[in-house]
Structure 1
Amino acid sequence: MIGQVETAEENTVKGGQAKAVAVFGAGGHTGRFVVAELTRRGIAPMAVVRSAATLQREGVFGSEIDIREAGIDDDASLDRAFAGVDAVINCAGPFLDTARPVAAAAIRAGAHYLDVTAEQPSAMATFETFDEAARNAGVLILPAMGFYGGFGDLLVTAAAGGWTDVDDIRIAIALDTWHPTKGTRITGERNTAQRLVVSNGSLVPLVPAADDLEMDFPEPFGRQNVVALPFSEIPVITRHLRPRELHSFLNRAALRDVRDAATPAPKATDETGRSPQRFAIEAAIRKGGETRRIAARGRDIYAFSAPLICEAVERLLDGRSRGSGARAPGAVFEAGDFLDALSAQVPDFELIQE
């Protein structure tokens, strides 16, 4: 059973001074985790979907969740759905298609906007398109506030400890498996843009290395064969830091999984809906002769994006953020404190400072 489909006006009357967050794409795999996490934190989620009837048939949400219908091709429906909310979380990919209309509607509503895109061109376009409008509206726009993108930026910022101009940043990710969601599959087909890295201080197209690379990760991974594969952390990090070199890597085992059409979707193995997938990530930042490192490990990259983005929303709503405009999380939040909060709240997540 799901909640009632209601008009924005009805909810505004009922909501009083309570903070409300619209979750666009709430019926998707990550969206469901986000709705559950907001509820756990005592923040009222508004589930925004294309079809409430579909959710009702699937029995996705309980009666306590308010449902609103909207589509990216209907600005009026987005305006109705976002009326009266304090923030909008976009979980509906491909973000190359959804980010622009959803972010524009959030700004019209006077609400903060966040998404979980791993797509470099989407994050870059959001930064470039909405910075001035968000500043004028006094809201924050945080694209790529998920596992790929914002998480790496927070780790890098925490390890950098005040460095802004650095010689080299390396981010390495290992997954024991990568069972992609339907949304990940669709996004991969939609996103055909050339991937970018930073070399000699400039954004340049990735040139895949011919040689096999190996990197060491925290247990249980150990030494892994990796491939250069940058995601949205590149435009996010360069939004506020100035590395001469910035490169990202993914272990080849995970890449084989996600490229194999036969790899199944994630399967829940606990009451929260998490899959058994394990991840590890390490960031190394070098300036001159000094290198600083930080690492983390946890479970289920899709599920982990929910407490990550919801922690950001909670800090936006209670004033633990800086400025307005289209920003990177490392420029908006105290990165170390943010990561410590995740360590205290998220099961199976561990921060490893070296």
Structure 2
Amino acid sequence: MKIAVYGANGYQGRLVLTEAVRRGLNVVLVGRDAARLRHAAATVALSNPDIRLAGPDIRVAPADDHDALVAAFRAADAVVNCAGPFTPTGAAVVRAAIAASRHYVDTAGEQPYIKAVFDTFGARAQAAGVTVVPAANDACVPGDLIAALLAERLGPLEEITSVHLITGGGGPSRGSLRSLIESIDIIKAGGLVYDDGDWRAGLPARKTSIILPGSAQAVPVARFPLSEVVTIPRHVRVRHVEGLAEAALAARLSVPIDPSIIAGLPEGPDEQARATQRFTYLIDAVALDGRRARGVVEGPDTYGTTAVIAVESVRRLVAGSAKPGVLAPAQAYDPAAFLRSLLPHNVHWTIQEGEERTAGN
């Protein structure tokens, strides 16, 4: 199996490249600068002496060169796009992957871009016989899969609330900061909410605080443009879906960033900083009859976990039988099976309904 990693020279791209090679997959490094791609290959090989990346296959293809992208992607079985920010260039990469008849995933977290992929490329992907799964990242994939399991238990739902809480890990990568700049207006506005059959902006949050697992203390939360708000309603019968983040985190990410300072910042958190990071994602569901259930996903290192999830996502598309089109994670993969595949990477999940507790291990 061979996968093309677009943006392989970037911070997230190198992590995806490392994970792919660690699993024994062949890779094609694709980007706009051959020297930077060669440097990325050398850096991965030097930093990971236990994996082998000899004679890397490097293809130069800027996002605005459709023919070069198509030719590069045809050298692989599928594409992983790690080149954020995705809002200005992601659609061109999706379009080229479909033209090359190759499955596609990306690591995007930009809510408007993810919705645009669903709105724009569904029919094209179906006609080409390929599967497109945007937002194959640390939060959207497990959150979307957990939502499917909650719906299996409860049936049609009144609401789903997804909440992100992250501690430690150092600062964001340069790519994440640039994505924040692209999304700053929708972050300030709180993002889209799914309500009564459509995605809407400007609705007030139904919750302003949540209780963490194992704690009686309420944590303030605020509306935030989460990816799973776009994906969950595509396969779950639910009236209302909203995304929340810890209020302090949402406030920090709402502050405008001067683009001129980003180039002088570290490319991303180092391995030691990433090892200190922990995430907790809560998916709270309320059935039409009032029954409630909560899914909890916990793990380390959002960037490293994103690499694991992106590679596992594309591997399953190539090896499996997902239907063509633009799909949410739970439409493309078996939810419980995919979640079990994350256990060796210290990503654990539980579902609690009333007094009953089901563990994902």
TM range (shorter): 0.7 to 0.9
Report the Cα distance in structure 2 between the residues aligned to 1:220 and 1:145, rounded to whole angstroms: 30
Between 158-167 and 300-309, report the one with greater CA deviation: 158-167
Q: What corresponds to 1:13 in structure 2?
A: none
Select which of 61, 67, 90 maps to 1:70: 61
How far off is 1:221 after superposition? Answer: 11
Q: Secondary structure of 1:238's match?
A: helix
Q: Which amino acid aligns with 1:283?
A: I
Task: Give the 3 Å change call, closer, same or farther, for CA 256–179 of structure 1 in structure 2.
Answer: farther
Q: Deviations over 1:90-142 (max 9, x none)?
A: 11111112221111111111100111211122111111221111111111011
The match for 1:204 is: 200
Distance change in 2, residues 1:202/1:132 (3 Å)? closer
Q: Is the contact between residue 169 and residue 247 of structure 1 (CA under 8 Å) also seen in structure 2?
A: yes
What's the counterpart of residue 224 of structure 1?
219
- Partners of 2:195 and 2:131 lie apart in 1 by 29
Pick aligned residue for 1:51 from 6, 27, 33: 33
Partner of 1:61: 44
Structure 2 distance, partners of 1:231, 1:171, is: 8
Across the aligned residues of Structure 1 and Structure 2, the Cα RMSD in angstroms comes to: 2.6
Task: Choose which of 15, 20, 23 in structure 2 pairs with 1:41.
Answer: 23
What CA distance in whole angstroms lies between the structure 2 residues aligned with 1:28 and 1:222? 39
Contact 2:37/2:58 (CA < 8 Å) preserved in 1? no
- Residue aligning to 1:237: 232
Are residues 1:339 and 2:339 paired?
Answer: yes
- Structure 1 residues 221 and 278, CA gap change in structure 2 (3 angstroms): farther
- Map 1:185-334 onto structure 2 (within 5 A): 185-191=177-183, 192-193=185-186, 195-208=191-204, 213-218=208-213, 223-259=218-254, 266-270=268-272, 274-287=274-287, 288-319=289-320, 321-334=321-334
Query: Which residues of structure 1 form unaligned runs of 5+?
Result: 1-18
Confirm or deny: 8 A CA contact 1:267 1:275 kept in the other structure: no
Q: Distance in 2 between matches of 1:44 and 1:187?
A: 29
8 A Cα contact 2:66 2:92, kept in partner: yes
Cα 1:145–1:179 shift into 2, 3 Å: same
Deviations 1:246-285 (A, max 9, x none): 1111112333444565997542234xx8442111011112
CA shift, 1:241, in A, is 2.1
TM-aligned CA distance change 1:222 to 1:89, over 3 Å? farther
> What CA distance in whole angstroms lies between the structure 2 residues aligned with 1:250 and 1:236?
17
1:12 is matched with which residue? none
**34 and 57 in structure 1: CA distance in 2 versus 1, 3 angstrom threshold:** closer
Structure 1 pair 52/165, CA: closer, same or farther in 2 (3 Å)?
same
In 2, the alpha carbon distance for the partners of 1:48 and 1:219 equals 45
Change (3 A) 1:49 1:90: same
Alignment partners' CA distance in 1, 2:280 and 2:68: 40
1:351 corresponds to which residue?
349
CA separation in 2, counterparts of 1:274 and 1:66? Answer: 29
Question: 2:163 maps to which residue?
Answer: 172
Work out whether residues 280 and 298 of structure 2, in 8 Å CA contact, stay in contact via their aligned partners in 1: yes
1:98-113, aligned counterparts within 5 Å? 98-113=89-104
Q: Displacement of 1:36 after TM fit? A: 1.0
1:189 corresponds to which letter in structure 2? I
Q: Distance in 2 between matches of 1:243 and 1:212?
A: 17
**How far 1:57 sits from its partner (Å)?**
4.9
Q: Percent of aligned positions with the same letter in both sequences?
A: 31
Aligned equivalents of 1:183, 1:159: Cα separation in 2: 33
Distance 2:155 2:93 in 1: 31
**1:162 deviation in Å?**
6.6
Aligned CA distance change for structure 1 residues 353 and 164 (closer, same or farther; 3 Å): closer
CA 1:55/1:112 → structure 2, altered by over 3 Å: closer, same or farther?
A: closer
Equivalent pair of 2:4/2:30 in contact (CA under 8 Å)? yes
The structural deviation recorded for 1:353 is: 2.5
**Equivalence map 1:22-171=2 (5 Å):** 22-57=4-39, 59-62=42-45, 63-64=53-54, 65-161=56-152, 165-171=156-162
Matched AA of 1:116: T
Q: Give, as a single letter, the amino acid of the residue that structure 2 aligns with 1:184.
A: S
Paired residues in the alignment total: 330
**Quick one: structure 1 residues 69 and 162, their matched pair in 2 at CA, closer, same or farther if it must change by over 3 Å?**
farther
Using the size of structure 1 for normalisation, the TM-score is: 0.85
Going from structure 1 to structure 2, the CA distance change for 1:236 and 1:190 (only over 3 Å counts) comes to same
Structure 1 position 219, deviation (Å): 6.1
> How far apart in 2 are the matches of 1:25 and 1:84?
16
- Alignment-derived partner of residue 5 in structure 1: none
Structure with bigger helix share is 2
- SS of 2:203's equivalent in the other structure is coil
